[in-house]
Structure 1
Amino acid sequence: MPLRILLILGALTAFAPLAIDFYLPSFPVLAQVFATDVERVQLSLAAYFIGLAVGQLLYGPLADRFGRRLPLLFGVGLFTLASFACALAPSLEWLVAARFVQALGGCAGMVVSRAVVRDLCDPVNSARVFSQLVLVMGLAPILAPSAGGLLLVLSGWQAIFVSLGLFAALCLLLVTLFLPETRPQHLPPAPLGGALRQYRLLLADRAFIGHVLTGGLAMAAMFAYVAGSPFVFIDLYQVPAQQYGWLFGSNAAGFILVAQFNARLLRRRGPGFWVSRGVAVYLLCALLLFVAALLQPAVLWPLLLPLFGCIATLGVVMPNTSACAMAGQGAHAGSASALLGSLQFAIAALAASLVGVLHDGTARPMALVMLLCAGGAMLVAWRTARYRPDIAAGVAPARG
C-alpha cells in the first residue's frame, strides 16, 4: 500500500481516539464550568461512543453503494462542524449533543479506512496494514492527552475542540486531493435496500461475529480504562493534568510497539493464531490489575504495570481480530466494516458507562470492568477458534 494512502488512513482512523483522548484532562475543569461532577461529564464520552456505534451502521451501506470517497467527505465535514459546536457549548447538555454529532461524522473515517484496506489487501497483508495503522493512529493517544492538558492550561477547554476542528479540516483537504476511489470497479453498487439483509447475513456468520466480539470486548476494556483513568490518576492519586498525558501516552506507546512486533509475528503464523495467544496474556494482566486495585495501594505504580500490559497486548488483539473479521467480505466490505465498528463501540459504550455506574471512589470499578471484558474476550476467542481455521493459517477464501 502506498505510504501516502497509509498516512491518510491512519489520520482518519485516529479521529476516534483523538477526539476521546484529547479532552480527557479537561474532565475536572468541565465539571467545574458546568457546575456538575465528573461522573456526569462522562456522559459526553458515553454519547460519543453511542454516536460511533450508530453512525457506522449508516456509512457501511453508503460506502458499498456510492463508493468510499463520497460518504467519507460528508462524514469528515460533519466532524469538523460539530467540533466547533463543542467549543461553543454553553451547557453540558449542548456538549453531550454536539459530541454525539461529532461521533456521527468521525466514524466515517473508521468505516471507510477498514473498507479501503480490505479493497487493497488480502487477510494476512490486511493484518500487517492494520498493525502499521496503529503506528500512525497511535500517536493520537500518546500526544493528545499531553497536548490537551497543555491547551487546557494555556487557552482553556474550548481550544481543545477548536484544534479538533482544524485537524478535521486538514484531513478533509487531504482526502479531497490524494485519496482515490478504491472500491473495485467490477463490483456492482450494493443497493441500499439490501442493507438490513446484508447485516442479517453478517450477524449469522459465526466466524465474523466471533472475531468482532473478541476485538470488541478487548477494546471495551481499553475504554473502561479511558473512562476511569482521569479519576484514578488525577483525583485519586493527584497526578497533575499535564503529567496525566505522559502516563496515558506511555501505555499507548506500548500498544504501538507491540503492534509493530505483531507484523513480524504474522510471518510465522496467521492472525487467528495470535488472537488466541494475545487475549490469554490480556486476561492475565487484567487479573493482576484487579488484584492490585483490591489492595488499594498508596502509590500508583502497582496499578500502572498491569495497565501497561493490558493496553500493550491490544497491539496483537486488535489488528488481528479486524483482519480475521474482514476476511472474505469483498463485495460488502463497507457493511462488514460498519457492523464490526458499530458492535465494538456499542460494547465500549456499555463498559465506559458501567465504570461510572460502579464508581465508589477507588480504582476497583475500572479494574473490575476491564477484568470482565478480558474474560469475555478469552471465552469468545476460544469458541471462535473452531471456525475458519483457514484464517489462522493465513489463507482465507474470498466471498465476493
Structure 2
Amino acid sequence: MTLSPKQSGQNKLQHSSWLFLAILGALMAFTSLSTDIYLPAMPQMRRDLQGDVELTITGFLVGFAVAQLIWGPISDRIGRRIPLFIGMILFIVGSIGCALSQNIEQIVFWRVFQALGACTGPMLARAIIRDLYARTKAAQMLSTLTIIMAIAPIVGPLLGGQIIRISSWHSIFWLLTVIGALMFFSLFLLPETHPAEKRARTSVFGAFGSYRKLLSNRQFMRYTLCIAFFYVSAYAFIAGSPFVYITYYGVGTQYYGALFAINLLGVIGLSFANRSLVKKIDLDILLRIATVIAMMAMIVLALLVWFKIGGIYSIVITVFIFFSMNAMIAASATAAALDGVPELAGSASALIGSLQYGSGIISSILLARLSDGTPWTMAWIMAVFTIASAAMALTSAGKGKR
C-alpha cells in the first residue's frame, strides 16, 4: 500500500518515477562511491602520504556513523530535502579538502568532514522509501535501488584504477567534487515526502530520545544487527582486498577494479530476483536463507585460506557468493526493521545506517592491528561476523506481515 505524501510531491513521483529512483539510487551509492573509487590508489597514497592510509576509511566511517544519528531526528522534525541539500554541500567541501591534502592527518580530517554530508544520501533515501511504501513494497523498491546503486562500486574501482594510470590520486577527489555538485542540483527534482502533518512535534534535541525507544525494541535491533554484522564482513573485504589482491597476489591496479566488480554482478542479479521473491516469500524467510548461504560461503573461505587451497580463486568465488546475498539481506532486513517503527522512520534509518556503515570501523581496526601479512585475517573476520549476522536473522521472530 502506498502512503500519500503531499499532492505536489505525489504528482512529481508519478511523472518522473524512473528519474526519482535513479536519484535515490545515486544517493544510496554515495558511501560505496566515496570509498571504492580510490581503493586502487591506496598503495600510491600510502607512499605519498607516508601514513596508514586505511585510516582514511576509518575516518570516513566514523564521521558517517556519528553524523547519521544527528541527521535522523532532524529529518523527522524538518523534512527530508533540507538535510539533503546541506549534506551535499558538506560533501563537496570535504571532497575539495581531500583533493588538496598533503599529509595523512589532513586527508583523514577531510574524509571525516566529507562523511558528514555523504551520510545524508543513503539514510534519507531509505527514509523516503519508508515514507511512501509499506513493508513488502518497500523491500521491492529497496531491491530496485540496490540494482541502481551497484553501478557505483563497479564503475568506481575501474575508474579509479584508470585515473591512477594517467594522473594522481588527487584527481579522484576532484572527480568526487564534480559528482557532488551534480547531485546537489539533482535534489531540486525530488519532492518532500515527509509532510508537515507527519513530522515529529518535539524539538530536534527532544527527538533524540527516539534512539532509546529504538535500542530497546528487540525486534528492530535484531534486524539492524543482522545488517551491521554483515557489513563488518563486507568492509573487511573492502579494506583488506587491495592488500590481498594487489600486494599479496600481485594483481595489477588496473585489474583490481575488475575483480572487485565481479562481486557486484552477483548483487545486481540477486536484486532483480529479490524484487519478485519478496512478493511471494515472507521477508524473514528470505533473510534467513540469504544469511545462511553467506555464512556457509565465508566458513568455506576461512577453511580454504587456512589450508592454502585454491589461491586467489578461492577468494574470488566465495566472496562472490557472499556479496550476492547482500541484495536480499540489506533490502529484507531494512524493510522489516522500518516496518515496525513507521513513526520514527528518519531516526530508525539513521540508526540502521550508523551501525551498518559504522561497523566498517571494526573491520579496519581489526585488519590494521591483527594483520599477519596473508589473507587469513580478512578471511576469519568475514567468517566470524557473517555467522553473527545469520544468528540475528535466525533468532528474529517476524510478524509475517506482507
**Which TM class, normalised by the smaller chain length?**
over 0.9
- Corresponding residue to 1:78 among 70, 75, 90: 90
Question: Is the aligned partner of 1:5 residue 2:20?
Answer: yes
Specify the alignment match of 1:336 in structure 2.
Answer: 348
Distance 2:34 2:348 in 1: 24
Q: After TM superposition, give the deviation of residue 185 of structure 1 in Å.
A: 3.8
Work out the CA distance in 2 between the residues paired with 1:25 and 1:360. Answer: 21
Aligned to 2:291: 279
Give the TM-score taking structure 2 as reference length: 0.94
Match of 1:389 among 388, 391, 399: 399
Quote the Cα distance in structure 2 between the aligned partners of 1:343 and 1:299.
Answer: 32
Does 2:211 correspond to 1:199?
A: yes
Q: CA deviation digits over 1:128-176, x for unaligned, max 9?
A: 1110111111001111001001011112101100111100110000002
Query: What is the alpha-carbon distance in structure 2 between the residues aligned to residue 360 and residue 23 of structure 1?
Result: 24
Q: Secondary structure at the match of 1:8?
A: helix
Match of 1:260 in 2: 272
1:345 maps onto 2:345 in alignment = no
- Asked if the contact 2:227–2:329 (Cα under 8 Å) also holds between the matched residues in 1, the reply is yes
Task: Name the counterpart of 2:128.
Answer: 116
Q: Which amino acid aligns with 1:26?
A: A
Given candidates 149, 159, 163, the residue that maps to 2:161 is: 149
Tell me the residue number matched to 1:186.
197
What amino acid sits opposite 1:308 in the alignment? F
Counting only pairs closer than 5 Å after superposition, residues 221-240 of structure 1 correspond to structure 2 as 221-240=233-252
TM-score (norm 1): 0.94
1:199-232 residue CA offsets vs partner (Å, 9 max, x unmatched): 1001111111100000111111111100100000
Whether 2:31 is the aligned partner of 1:21: answer no
| Contact 1:217–1:348 (Cα < 8 Å) also in 2 | no
Q: Which residue, out of 135, 141, 160, partners 1:129?
A: 141
Amino acid at match of 1:300: I
What is the CA–CA distance in structure 2 between the aligned matches of 1:71 and 1:147, rounded to whole Å? Answer: 29
Tell me how large the CA RMSD over aligned residues is.
Answer: 1.2
Deviates most, 127-136 or 340-349: 340-349
Deviations 1:309-354 (A, max 9, x none): 1111112111111111110433221111111111222222112221
The reply on whether 1:96 has 2:108 as its aligned counterpart is yes
Alignment match, 2:328: 316
Helix, strand or coil at the partner of 1:215: helix
- Quick one: distance in 1 between partners of 2:330 and 2:216? 22
Q: Secondary structure at the match of 1:389?
A: coil
**1:397 maps to what in 2?**
none
Identity %: 33
Q: How many equivalent pairs are there?
A: 386
Cα distance in 1, alignment partners of residues 273 and 400 from structure 2: 22
CA distance in structure 2 between the aligned counterparts of 1:133 and 1:90, rounded to whole angstroms: 36
Of stretches 327-336 and 78-87 in structure 1, the one that deviates more from structure 2 is 327-336
Uncovered stretches (5+) of structure 1, i.e. residues with no partner:
395-400
Bigger mean CA offset, 203-212 vs 252-261: 252-261
Q: Distance in 2 between matches of 1:307 and 1:49?
A: 22
**Matched letter for residue 296 of structure 2:** L
Tell me which residue corresponds to 1:289: 301
User: Partner residue of 1:398?
Assistant: none
**TM-aligned CA deviation for residue 297 of structure 1:** 4.5
Q: For each residue in 1:223-277, what CA deviation from the matched residue of structure 2 results, as whole angstroms up to 9, or x when unmatched?
A: 1100100000000000000100000001111111111111111121121220011
List gaps (5 residues or longer) in structure 2: 1-12
Does the 8 Å CA contact 1:10/1:133 hold for their aligned counterparts?
yes
- The letter for the 1-side match of 2:195 is P
Deviation of the 1:292 alpha carbon: 1.5
Distance 2:205 2:372 in 1: 47
Distance (whole Å) between structure 1 residues aligned to residue 287 and residue 197 of structure 2:
33
When residues 82 and 367 of structure 1 are mapped into structure 2, their CA distance, relative to the original with a 3 A threshold, is: same
The one-letter amino acid of 2:32's match is P
Q: How far does residue 298 in structure 1 lie from its aligned partner after superposition?
A: 7.1
Change (3 A) 1:284 1:194: same
